[in-house]
């Protein structure tokens, strides 16, 4: 039996927060195994992680990060910084490099230093980016992001570009599709767009 995989994920660091987006299709080879797969996971109120790759590997890392974020807050009386959360995941991936966890992750959030987006590969490489896309649909998504995204945008300005990028990938990549999820992280915290909000953004493009 083939593992569940396939996806498009996007993370953008804006002037006032972070936008994360993913499609919702999970594939098993050429078979569409799930049409409503969750690929954005809140870690705390101000950090979230997107996953691309083997779902079981990714979910294990997500749960480990959630527990450690809670432990950090309990011991230090403050939230875990975004960079520290990303470094923890990088260390987990690096320590498993002989039998790699097959996932790409994007960790985005906002802390005292401001908004951050980090990209991680299966061997634990950690790079901070202004915007990043992972998964099989990322080449298409990057085309839209490179063309339409400006430096210094706000969350509100970046949102329609991100939605356009993920939907373009869904149309051209067979392993991405069905629907999409969007999460915004600002000083007010983490929230996901409702179905009505997503329709409104799509209609306004």
What is the spatial distance between Cα 173 and Cα 162, in angstroms, rounded to a whole number?
A: 16
Residue 144: closest CA among 160, 165, 159, 167: 165
**What string of pLDDT tens digits covers the 205 residues of the chain?**
445 456 899 999 999 999 999 999 988 887 888 899 999 999 999 999 999 988 899 999 999 999 999 999 999 999 999 999 999 999 999 999 999 999 999 999 999 999 999 999 999 999 999 999 999 999 999 999 999 999 999 999 999 999 999 999 999 888 888 899 999 999 999 999 999 999 999 886 5
3-state secondary structure of 205: coil
What is the spatial distance between Cα 82 and Cα 88, in angstroms, rounded to a whole number?
A: 10
Residues 6+ positions from 106 with CB-CB distance below 8 Å: 9, 10, 11, 20, 49, 50, 117, 118, 119, 120, 132, 134
Q: CB-based burial of residue 67 (10 Å sphere; 0-12 exposed, 13-18 middle, 19+ buried)?
A: exposed
- Judge contact between 23 and 177, C-beta under 8 A: yes
Segments making up each domain of the chain, as ranges = 9-203
Domain 9-203 - what CATH class? Answer: alpha beta
For the annotated catalytic residues, the residue numbers are 7
């Amino acid at each position: 039996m083939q593992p569940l995989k396939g996806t498009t994920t996007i993370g953008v660091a804006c002037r006032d927060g972070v936008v994360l987006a993913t499609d919702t299709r999970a594939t098993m080879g050429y078979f569409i195994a799930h049409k409503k797969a969750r690929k954005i996971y809140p870690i705390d109120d101000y950090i979230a992680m997107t996953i691309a790759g083997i779902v079981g590997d990714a979910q294990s890392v997500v749960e480990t990060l959630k527990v450690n974020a809670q432990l950090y807050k309990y011991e230090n009386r403050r939230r875990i910084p975004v960079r520290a959360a990303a470094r923890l995941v990088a260390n987990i991936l690096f320590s498993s490099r002989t039998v790699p966890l097959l996932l790409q992750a994007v960790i985005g959030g906002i802390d005292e230093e401001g908004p951050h987006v980090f990209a991680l590969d299966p061997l634990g490489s950690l790079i901070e980016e202004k915007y990043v896309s992972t998964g099989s649909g990322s080449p298409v998504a990057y085309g839209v992001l490179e063309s339409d995204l400006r430096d210094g945008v706000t969350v509100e300005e970046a949102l329609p570009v991100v939605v356009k990028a993920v939907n373009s990938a869904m149309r051209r990549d067979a392993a991405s599709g069905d629907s999409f999820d969007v999460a915004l992280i600002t000083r007010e915290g983490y929230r996901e767009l409702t179905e009505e909000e997503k329709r409104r953004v799509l209609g306004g493009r």
